[in-house]
Amino acid sequence: MKGLWLEKQQLQLKSDLPIPQPTTDEALVKVLQAGICNTDLELLRGYYPYQGILGHEFVGVVEQLDFG
């Protein structure tokens, strides 16, 4: 899986991220488009010591559901 990864205020495009496995009452969504918002930009500037994938505003298709 690809993702725009933020760590120590550095961005990196990763293509080897594991595909998440949904647990009970979760869905796996294939992201078609993702946006970067001002909060993401502030994280890049050091607003909060965040490590992970940016782009939480997205459009996608549900690929898998787990209702338990």
Strands (E) across the chain are located at: 3-7, 10-14, 26-35, 52-53, 57-66
Q: What domain count does the chain have? A: 1
d(CA 60, CA 31) in angstroms, rounded, equals 4
- What residue type is assigned to position 55 of the chain? G
pLDDT on residue 61: 97
The per-residue pLDDT for range 35-45, each reduced to its tens digit, is 999 999 999 99
Domain enclosing residue 51, as ranges: 3-66
* pLDDT value of residue 68: 73
By the 8 A CB rule, do 14 and 58 touch? no
Tokens of 6: 């933020």
Q: Give the predicted TM-score (pTM) of the model.
A: 0.77
| Regions of the chain with pLDDT less than 50 | none
